[in-house]
Structure 1
């Protein structure tokens, strides 16, 4: 049985004139990833003023309109699993989860099940956004496996599209609480530094030159002075991979317990071992956005989990 196809019209912005076609279309259609559009172009699903466009690298003319044919989502191959979730809010359009540390978001090599996707497939059976190529939960942002806190997923395509627009415009209010090493000399500050893949380790992110990577801004403020550490709130103006972890490390205050971007101080090493604390001390504590369908403001807060609270209590001066 053949799958249906939906057609969307995408106008290339004047400011995107001369960009690669896949990049320009991703700018014009924020609900679709560049990789997804690249695959659709290569498979002959995109038509422009000059006919079929099969080269993702061709230059896109500003103002041109392209038709993108999107096949209906294929059935998900992920297994629905009855994994306990802390649901903060849910309606017919979206769901907000308070994710526990250690829970992987998407299945991947080495983590094919036991993920948030598997849990949502069970919890939201039959009610998931199909945007993205397969019928899987419409997770519009991620947090790291070992970061705890608030996450948002779309249950309908309309909600997914609306939330994607808010994430692209950086209007989502996301605030993290982190315990960082060292004593911050000022009460607040801003890190404005582009992020990209590390040139020495492609699995890591790093601060890169202004003409490289992606624009990234983190606003931080000190909440409590601890013993050779500080509790800070980090508000994300942008949302890049590992942004808080890399930005705080770049100013000499890596997250306590961070195995990738931090070097554990001798005075903390024994404490972390005693507490059994084996992750970066980072928690997604606040999430605010406009409901993508009903248009009213929503805001949610999450208290830091027990393991991070125990670490905080032990470090109190």
Structure 2
């Protein structure tokens, strides 16, 4: 069965093999073989290469979708993959709100932005909207081919929760991506956050080392004792300011687990203000319509440089407005 696709503006600059893997499912390796075997045409041309950068309105034709590998053992997995990419194809045609990047720094290797609260960093199976990744690709189409999973995480080298704000670094080249990934994996990057939590912590300085794992009962993460199963996670905190019913903290994390700061602080009985997911049942809460969590700075060694740089994002006005209303103690 023949199949054809017309490339839209959101896929401009994406590699041919990445684009077809999204559209067809199956493996990227087999798609590359199809391209090399002449089974793929772009704008009628027989000679194509996997790394070809597509342009808006390019016509991509597939000679035979049936040539995608499928056997009894792989069929269910392939169907699942195909279903996932079919849903995800909608993500790559975002609608409604379009993200505008707030750039803090840029050179040939990296793009550093101040991510706004509510902006999703990269597409997920459940999302159908614009993301920071899409905006970065619109800014520089070469980013579309960068990373271990460029189809869904192009250029993204570290985490930042959707409802958090602050410094986010994006790799613009594969070489920069590998360098930055190594910095994070070897814990050479220093990430510092500001947060406001419910209640009053006992100590002015502390370290939380509970492991983090996915809850079997709820759609969220949980903190566990170090003796139990889970991923190692280390969070350091220092009290910045105490209020009558809240505490402002400076946070530094050694690891970057999913929801790490939120999960660790929840485990102490002091969840982040505005965190509906990790709020403690029946605990009196400060009414606030966003997560009071901000990635204030990132110190990291950039490619081809000899000394680390520190990038800082200013605290959003809505966060300072809340603390200005609280009574200091």
Per-residue CA deviation, residues 236-275 of structure 1 (Å, 9 max, x unaligned), is 0111111100111111111111101123877644xx2xxx
Aligned to 2:105: 89
Q: In the alignment, is the contact (CA less than 8 A) between 1:222 and 1:232 conserved in 2?
A: yes
1:106–1:75 distance in 2 versus 1, CA, 3 Å: farther
Deviation larger for 283-292 or 77-86 = 77-86
Out of 113, 116, 122, the position equivalent to 1:100 is 116
1:98–1:279 distance in 2 versus 1, CA, 3 Å: same
SS of the residue 2:141 aligns to: coil
Asked whether 1:132 is paired with 2:148, we answer yes
Q: How many angstroms does 1:75 deviate by?
A: 6.5
Per-residue CA deviation, residues 71-125 of structure 1 (Å, 9 max, x unaligned), is 7599796358963211001001001110000101112244233211111111123
Asked whether 1:286 is paired with 2:287, we answer no
Distance 1:267 1:109 in 2: 34
SS of the residue 1:120 aligns to: helix
Q: Gaps spanning 5+ residues in structure 2: where?
A: 1-14, 18-26, 33-49, 56-88
Distance 1:75 1:176 in 2: 39
Deviation larger for 107-116 or 168-177 = 107-116
Q: Which of the two has greater strand per residue?
A: 1
Q: Gaps spanning 5+ residues in structure 1: where?
A: 5-38, 46-70
TM-score, normalised relative to structure 2: 0.68
Distance 2:240 2:102 in 1: 26
1:264–1:178 distance in 2 versus 1, CA, 3 Å: farther
Q: Which of the two has greater helix per residue?
A: 2
TM-score, normalised relative to structure 1: 0.71
Per-residue CA deviation, residues 117-166 of structure 1 (Å, 9 max, x unaligned), is 11111112334552224366311112111111110110001110011111
Q: In the alignment, is the contact (CA less than 8 A) between 1:217 and 1:236 conserved in 2?
A: yes
Aligned to 2:277: 260
Q: In the alignment, is the contact (CA less than 8 A) between 2:266 and 2:280 conserved in 1?
A: no
Asked whether 1:206 is paired with 2:217, we answer no
Out of 180, 190, 193, the position equivalent to 2:197 is 180
1:228–1:114 distance in 2 versus 1, CA, 3 Å: same
Q: In the alignment, is the contact (CA less than 8 A) between 1:227 and 1:316 conserved in 2?
A: yes
Aligned to 2:235: 218
1:157–1:213 distance in 2 versus 1, CA, 3 Å: same
Distance 1:118 1:103 in 2: 11
Aligned to 1:114: 130
Distance 1:287 1:265 in 2: 36
SS of the residue 2:169 aligns to: strand
Q: In the alignment, is the contact (CA less than 8 A) between 2:98 and 2:130 conserved in 1?
A: no
Q: In the alignment, is the contact (CA less than 8 A) between 2:133 and 2:155 conserved in 1?
A: no
Distance 1:237 1:243 in 2: 10
Distance 1:84 1:143 in 2: 17
Distance 2:274 2:222 in 1: 18
